[in-house]
A and B are shown apart, each in its own frame.
Chain A
Amino acid sequence: MKNRLKVLRAERDWTQAQLADALDVSRQTINAIETGKFDPSLQLAFRAARLFTLRIEEVFHDPELDLTEDRSADAKTAMGG
Chain B
Amino acid sequence: MDQRKPPGNGYQSRTRTNVIRLFRWTGAWAAATLLMALGPGLIWNKDLLVTLLAIGLDVAVGAGMVLANKRYVEELDELQKKVQLNSMGITLGVGLIAGVPLAVMDAYHVIPFHADIAYLLVLMSLTFGASNLYGTRRYR
Binding site for B on A (CB under 8 A): 11-14, 17-29, 31-32, 37-38, 40-41, 44, 51
12 contacts between A and B (CB under 8 A): A12-B1, A18-B8, A21-B10, A22-B7, A22-B9, A28-B79, A28-B139, A28-B140, A29-B77, A38-B82, A40-B78, A51-B6
Residue of A nearest to B2 (CB): A12
Q: Which bucket holds chain B's interface residue count?
A: 20 to 34
Q: Which 7 A-B pairs have the closest CB atoms?
A: A22-B6, A21-B8, A25-B77, A24-B9, A29-B79, A32-B139, A13-B3
With a cutoff of 8 Å between Cβ atoms, the chain A residues found around residue B138 in the complex are 37
Main DSSP-derived SS at the B contact region: loop
With a cutoff of 8 Å between Cβ atoms, the chain B residues found around residue A40 in the complex are 78
| Known A12-B2, A13-B1; contact A20-B11, beta-carbon cutoff 8 A | yes
Q: Which of A23, A29, A44 has the most CB of B within 10 A?
A: A29
